[in-house]
Structure 1
Amino acid sequence: MMKRSKIGLALLLAVFLTGVGCRQVSDLKAFSEAKYSLQEVHDLELNGIDVMQKRGPEDFTTSEGDSLLASVSNNTLEASSTLYLQVHMPEPETAHQMTISQMKWQLLVDGKATLQGVVEEPMELHQGLNKLPLQTTVTMVEEEGLRNYEGLSKLMTLLAKKKDLRQNLTFQIKPTVEMPIGDLEVPAYIKVGAPG
């Protein structure tokens, strides 16, 4: 009798774990096929400096400018912000949720990777609008050992001109997702579109 109850318990546990695994695989597939758009950016700080209030180079103090320049040169620039990310599921009527243990990101200028970083804090994603507080080191992308200063220069020029940056900039993410068998990084970067 005891042996039967152990076998029954093992079967029940196996069915439960299979159900949990299938649900997470379904969630991962849904998020891989979803469309992402960045709705808003709030409280953007670089090295603790609120850059949302700056309109041009003259708005930075000498010490702020020196701090930012040194951090860019040393690839040690620290950014914090709150992103509002809209997730559009292929089947919005089905509830999906995903826990991300970390997220790589890249900013492309005119199609070329320029800045990148990794967000280490876990976060939850769901269908609809997601409020994501982020902290990340911002580094310049390197190609064959050389940093992409050209892309950074283009970015600074675009910001100075106060133009609509959406046609020149592409933001993309590469999440690592928590799964029953361990963390799994999605194979390719996912493009995050403009608000729409």
Structure 2
Amino acid sequence: MRKYSFIYSLLLAVVVLFSGCKQASDLKAFTEANYSLQEVHDLQLNGVDVMKKRGPNDFTTSEGDSLLASISNNTLRASTTLYLQVQMQEPEEVRQMTITEMKWQLLVDGEETLQGVVQEPMHLHDGLNELPIQTSVLMSEAEGMRNYEGLSKLMTLLSQKRDLRQNLIFQIKPTVQTPVGEVELPKYITVSGPRSS
């Protein structure tokens, strides 16, 4: 009986070791992958569908007041669906990763402007990932001061309705599930925009 128990324990240890090695390999592959944001659908800020708005006059007074108060109080919330393309360096290998939390930040002309945290689990794989998310939207701060200038630049760029890829950088910093617990990636990953045709 003791012999069978030893063999079972040995087999279990081998399975855990190999699954751990596979997850470590997957984590490395996802860290080295290329990420590009293909589309953003149904973007809502505090429940207001901003995808249908073309200018300030499209917002009702109550919508405008609510959004302005949330920006002032740094309590803005967003919900959207991101279509994130993940391109692995070895696409023939089947890999997946569970993200338990994801920090993000938006840089405008190289300056951190907006940031937030997605706290619901997401599962990534090679190829196109459809990710429904809800997140806080906070203004970045430097020395205790909010970056209103960056927010003003962002609003100006949006009102001009042109290609923003030269001005905006979107970065993510996932925390991933591993056999030894949750591990936060050491640095932000830059997510590119879709390639222009």
Q: Same fold (TM over 0.5)?
A: yes
Which amino acid letter does the alignment assign opposite residue 174 of structure 2?
P
In 2, Cα distance between the equivalents of 1:160 and 1:148?
19
Q: How does 1:100-179 map to 2 (within 5 A)?
A: 100-179=99-178
In 2, Cα distance between the equivalents of 1:132 and 1:19?
29
Which amino acid letter does the alignment assign opposite residue 6 of structure 2?
I
Q: Note the C-alpha offset of 1:18.
A: 0.3
Q: Note the C-alpha offset of 1:79.
A: 0.2
Structure 1 length-normalised TM:
0.99
Q: Note the C-alpha offset of 1:162.
A: 1.1
CA RMSD after TM alignment: 0.5
Unaligned runs of 5+ in 1: none
Which amino acid letter does the alignment assign opposite residue 73 of structure 1?
S
Q: What does residue 9 of structure 2 align with?
A: 10
Count of residue correspondences:
195
Which amino acid letter does the alignment assign opposite residue 178 of structure 2?
M
Give me the identity figure in percent.
70
Q: Note the C-alpha offset of 1:118.
A: 0.3
In 1, Cα distance between the equivalents of 2:118 and 2:157?
25
Which amino acid letter does the alignment assign opposite residue 84 of structure 1?
Y
In 1, Cα distance between the equivalents of 2:145 and 2:83?
33
Q: What does the per-residue CA deviation read over 1:113-147, in whole Å, with 9 as the maximum and x for residues that have no partner?
A: 10000000001000000000000010001111000
Q: What does the per-residue CA deviation read over 1:147-179, in whole Å, with 9 as the maximum and x for residues that have no partner?
A: 011100000010111121111000010000000
Which amino acid letter does the alignment assign opposite residue 82 of structure 1?
T
Which amino acid letter does the alignment assign opposite residue 52 of structure 1?
M
Which amino acid letter does the alignment assign opposite residue 80 of structure 1?
S
Q: What does residue 29 of structure 2 align with?
A: 30
Unaligned runs of 5+ in 2: none
Which amino acid letter does the alignment assign opposite residue 90 of structure 1?
Q
Q: What does residue 183 of structure 2 align with?
A: 184
Q: What does residue 91 of structure 1 align with?
A: 90
Structure 2 length-normalised TM:
0.98
Which amino acid letter does the alignment assign opposite residue 120 of structure 1?
Q
In 2, Cα distance between the equivalents of 1:176 and 1:89?
19
Which amino acid letter does the alignment assign opposite residue 87 of structure 1?
V
What secondary structure is seen at the aligned counterpart in 2 of 1:183?
Answer: strand
Q: What does the per-residue CA deviation read over 1:28-73, in whole Å, with 9 as the maximum and x for residues that have no partner?
A: 0000000000000000000000000000001001111110000000
Which amino acid letter does the alignment assign opposite residue 150 of structure 2?
G
In 1, Cα distance between the equivalents of 2:148 and 2:115?
13
In 1, Cα distance between the equivalents of 2:110 and 2:86?
23
In 2, Cα distance between the equivalents of 1:63 and 1:154?
24
In 2, Cα distance between the equivalents of 1:172 and 1:134?
15
In 1, Cα distance between the equivalents of 2:55 and 2:107?
22
In 2, Cα distance between the equivalents of 1:108 and 1:142?
12
1:82 is the counterpart of 2:81? yes
In 1, Cα distance between the equivalents of 2:160 and 2:6?
70
